[in-house]
Structure 1
């Protein structure tokens, strides 16, 4: 499984559209995702103190578009990027994704290993 941190409003719009589209799909041509071990680093770097988020769990085997591991920012670690809208059938689970009172994010217990 791979993961994507989404704004609740975008996830709600996906329910009507029957597919999920992040704004980066329009601006960059792909949707930024993370492997499980990358989720918290991304959350703390990009979403500090945000309370309008959900964590989407994505099954890569159910995608019918390209999934590529790359690093577009010049670092060594590669991240999964999805080159197209994600059908809802490929998102088996979503989780509330809120920071703790100290401002730090934690993985939902259901996916913590």
Structure 2
């Protein structure tokens, strides 16, 4: 399973369109994703202060586009990138991602609330 952080409005739009194609697909040519262990760090660096976030749990073997694990920013970590639009049938779970009382994100799929809207 790989994960992608998404805003609630972007997730609603993807569901209307039947495919997820964020701006990064056009600027970077891929969709940024993370492993379970990387989600919290990414969220805390890029999304501090946000309260409208979800995490998509994506089943890799159901993604139609190519997935490449790579370290494009010399962080000494391989991040999964989806090189194409994300077919929504590959999304198996949608979690609400909420900061704690100190504003920090600590993603743990086993304890996160699943979104069912």
Tell me if both proteins adopt one fold, taking TM over 0.5 as the criterion. Answer: yes
Tell me by how many angstroms 1:109 deviates.
4.8
Deviation of 1:110 after TM superposition, in Å, equals 2.5
The gaps in structure 1 that reach 5 residues or longer are: none
State the 4+ residue runs in structure 1 displaced beyond 4 angstroms. Answer: none
User: Equivalences for 1:1-113 in 2 at 5 Å?
Assistant: 1-110=1-110
* 2:115 aligned partner: none
The structure-2 alpha-carbon separation of the partners of 1:109 and 1:91, relative to structure 1 and needing over 3 Å to count, comes to: closer
Give the direction of change, closer, same or farther, for the CA distance of 1:75–1:109 in structure 2 (3 Å limit).
Answer: closer
Q: Distance in 1 between matches of 2:81 and 2:111?
A: 20
Q: SS at the partner of 1:77? A: coil
Q: How many residues align?
A: 112
Could you state the TM-score of these two structures normalised by the residue count of structure 2? 0.89
Deviation for aligned residue 1:21:
1.6
User: Any unmatched runs of 5+ in structure 2?
Assistant: 113-117
> TM-score, normalized by length of structure 1?
0.92
Alpha-carbon offset, residue 67 of structure 1: 0.3
